[in-house]
Amino acid sequence: MPLPHTRRPALALPLLLAGACALPAAPAPSHEDRPPPTPTQQVRSLVLPFDAYQLSLAEYYTLSAARDRLIRTCLGRLGGEWPVIDRPARAVDWKNRRRYGVIETDVAARFGYHAPQNLLSPYPAVVQREEQREAALSPRARKAALDPRHGCALTADRQLLRGGDADERKLHTLDATAFKQSRSDPSVKKAQQAWRTCMREEHHPYTSPEAAVNDARWWKEDTAAGASEETNNTSADASGEEIATAKADVRCKQRTAFARTWFTAEKTLQEKSVREHAHYFHGLKTAKLRQLRTARAVLKAEGARG
């Protein structure tokens, strides 16, 4: 099962957001208020070729900020209010942090196979403010802003996407294909066999990292509460046994170079895909740059008007 991406789209129309194929890992709110551990150097180095053709979180926030201002202007003409949300100008995210499963010792030691919502998207307060803003709208303002046929949000999206739209569905398909094919690479299979041997020696006889993640023991409370991995609503904290297993999982991945091997295989396949679909990827990059130029022009114009 792919890991659900935790970034919540603010734009009604697709804007080349990452489609996350990843090793199963059910993100779950944690009862801890502390921020998650800073990503390791290994996590920061997991940058794949396709990433350059998708919006980074900072770019996504730029588009969202421009959209806010367009909606505010539109709704203001109709007598409504649309508060502008302050988003980090230099936001960072680590979209591939769990792509190959749990690979960080500190993260495994705190959360096991569970994950707080801010592990992959480190600015949950932004999402919360977006949801609070929408909830505070009057019925009249909600219709004016969010009507799917004539609302201010639709008008804003069209302006931001004009001349910069692209078929990102093909990118998601190519992404999923490369991810799936990389799992069958001989080097990845060899690394998984080594991981399996290591885990047996650690007294955890799982056949694969997926089997370890999906052990029903880790999700009993979630299932009892009516949640599921697919709904991304799991809420249980990791048990001591889960944490011990996840830590062993990380140790075995480190000993066998599992994540690096898989990353290398997938990177090679993505590079090949970029070469084979050069015209398509050129179009993606062009569309992304046009969207960002439009958004920055909107922000500059709105800034000049004060």
Tokens of 139: 């019925």
The residue with tokens 């009507």 is: 147
pTM exceeds 0.95 for this model? no
Among candidate residues 228, 224, 199, 171, the one with its CA nearest the CA of residue 54: 171
119 to each of 2, 96, 114, 153, how far by Cα in Å? 16, 11, 10, 29
Q: What is the pLDDT of residue 15?
A: 42
pLDDT tens per residue, range 88-143? 888 888 889 999 999 999 999 999 999 887 887 778 889 889 999 999 999 999 99
290 to each of 42, 165, 287, how far by Cα in Å? 32, 9, 5
pLDDT tens per residue, range 202-235? 999 999 999 999 999 999 865 544 443 333 333 4
Average pLDDT over residues 279-288: 94
pLDDT of 2 > 60? The answer is: no
pLDDT of 260 > 60? The answer is: yes
Q: Are 6 and 99 in contact (CB under 8 A)?
A: no
